[in-house]
Amino acid sequence: MDAFVIAQMTVSGALMGLVYALIAYGFQLTYATSKSINFGQGELVMLSAFFSLTLINTGLPYWLVVPGGLLFGVVLGLFVERAAVRLALEQKSEGWILLTIIFGLFGFSAAENIWGRDDRPFPTPISSDPLQIFGVGITPLEISVAIGVFAVMGLIELFKRKTLLGKAFEAVAADRDAAELMGISATRTIMLSYGLSGMVAAMAGILVSPITTVGPTMASALILKAFAVAVVAGLDSGFGVVLIGLFLGALESLASFYIGSGWREAPGLVLLILALAVRPNGVFGKASIRKV
């Protein structure tokens, strides 16, 4: 077997895996502050991607489309928090699981009807001509994915560490009651986390759409992998998601090549179930203490 082909598969796959990692990173943001995640996040990615496509089709230049799409993601994220999550959190129930699933379902239906059921190409000014790096062909588009992922994660980490609001974010994640006593509104912080998570999801959509096309079904394709990455790494594992994402992406690519394209999904799902069986808190996660 040609080593270069394997390397090619691995690298391309791993770069896709970064997108899963990015979405998983978004999950961590909301989980940290509220112990909740958006089960409809895949639809959020997809809707942001479609919206960005619409912006492009209106003739807006790419460098304006990106912030437009990101803003849309923020708005959707805030909507999810208000409509699907807040009530359940206030009642200390897990109703948000079902409610965010419902959000996703509605989003899917809306997308189907507004933009149609077919997959559409997503134009981008970034080139898809492969560059040869160490004998492996990588397109600038793929490189842009990596740059985009690390840029977003980096910016958010910077925000968390260097700004006071970011520290407040960490405080709410550590001890919500104590944070309130400092004058930090937990509700506002949770809103922030959902807004950021939406932005992250939108970024993932914008990055991946030129490669995979945009369509209603892209939601489910991405989301299960992102879940797998989030859970396997651990919902509080920080950058562990990047490692797991790279790993999963590569694994998928190889599985698809060697076993069959229909089995592409399998590694992620199997990995998820295994990880949950063996290390429910994730490979890099931290266990928690129960207080009685």
Partner 1 sequence: MLKRFLLIRGAELVAFALLSTIPLLTSNSYALGLLTLLAIYGILLIGLDVTVGYLGQVNLAHAAFLGLGAYAAGLSVSLLGFGMFSALAAGLAAGLIFGGLLAFPALRLDGPQFALATLSFSALSVTTLNELESLTGGAQGLSVSRPAVLGHALNAPGFYWLCLILLALVWMAMRNLLASQWGRAFEALRDSPIATDAMGVGTYRHKVAAFALGSALGGLAGGLYAFNFQYLQPNSFVYELMVILLLGIVLGGRKSLWGAFVGASLIVLLPNLLSNRFLFQVFSAIGLLLALAAGGRGLLKKTTPPFQALAPIVAMGLLVVGGSLVQNTEDWRKGIFALMLFSVVVGLPEGLMGFAARYLAKLFRIAPPSLPPPAPLEEVLAARTADGAPLLELRELKRYFGGVKAVDGLDMTVRAGSIHGLIGPNGSGKSTAVNVISGLYAPTAGELRLRGSALPQGSLFQVARVGVARTFQNLQLFGELPALDNVMVALKGVYRSPLPLILLGLARDEERRAQAQALALLDLLGLKDQARTPAKDLTYGAQRFLEIARALARKPDLLILDEPAAGLAHPDVSKLVEIIKRIHQRGITIILIEHHMDVVSELCDVVTVLDGGKVIAEGAAAEVKRDPKVIEAYLGLANEAAPDAAPLPAH
Partner 2 sequence: MLLVENLHAGYGTSEVLVGASLEVQPGTLVALIGANGAGKTTTMRAVSGMLKPTRGRVLLDGKAVQGLDASRIARLGLAHAPEGRKVFGPLSVEDNLLLGAYSRLPAFFGFRAKAAAELERVYELFPRLRERRQQAAGTLSGGEQQMLAIGRALMAKPKVMLLDEPSMGLAPVIVQEVFNTIRRLKEAGITLLLVEQFAKSALEVADYAYVMERGRIAVAGTPAELGQNERVLAAYLG
Q: Tokens representing 86?
A: 């807040």
- DSSP 8-state secondary structure symbol assigned to residue 119: -
Q: Tokens representing 188?
A: 């506002």
* Residue 155 near partner 2 by CB under 8 A: no
Could you give the string, one character per residue 125-164, with x where binding to partner 1 holds by CB under 8 A and - elsewhere? ----------------------------------------
- DSSP 8-state secondary structure symbol assigned to residue 138: E
* Residue 168 near partner 2 by CB under 8 A: yes
Q: Which of 179, 229 has the CB closer to partner 2?
A: 179
Reported in sequence order, the residue ranges of the chain that DSSP labels E, i.e. its strands, are 131-133, 136-138
Q: Which of 65, 85 has the CB closer to partner 1?
A: 85
Q: Which single residue is written with the structure tokens 């496509």?
A: 53
Q: Pick the closest to residue 239 from 166, 148, 156 (CA basis).
A: 156
- Would you tell me how many other CB atoms lie within 10 Å of the CB of residue 179? 20
CA distance 233 to 247: 11
* Residue 116 near partner 1 by CB under 8 A: no
* Residue 157 near partner 2 by CB under 8 A: no
Q: Which of 111, 156 has the CB closer to partner 1?
A: 111
Q: Tokens representing 183?
A: 């004058």
Could you give the string, one character per residue 214-233, with x where binding to partner 1 holds by CB under 8 A and - elsewhere? ------x---x--xx--x--
157 binding partner (options partner 2, partner 1, none; Cβ < 5 to 8 Å by kind) = none
- As separate numbers, helices (DSSP H) first and strands (DSSP E) second, the chain gives 12, 2
- Contact 256/263 with Cβ under 8 angstroms? yes
Closest separation in Å from C-beta 261 to partner 1 = 10
Residue ranges in 268-287 that form contacts with partner 1 under rule CB under 8 A: 268-270, 272-274, 276-278, 280
Q: Which residues contact 274 (CB under 8 A, 6 or more apart)?
A: none
Cα dihedral across residues 176, 179, 184, 189: positive or negative? negative
Count residues binding partner 1 (CB under 8 A): 47
* Residue 174 near partner 2 by CB under 8 A: yes
Amino acid of residue 172: V
* Residue 3 near partner 1 by CB under 8 A: no
**Interface ranges with partner 1 (CB under 8 A):** 35-37, 39, 83, 86-87, 90, 94-95, 97-99, 101-103, 105-106, 108-110, 112-113, 220, 224, 227-228, 231, 235, 260, 262-263, 265-266, 268-270, 272-274, 276-278, 280, 289-290, 292
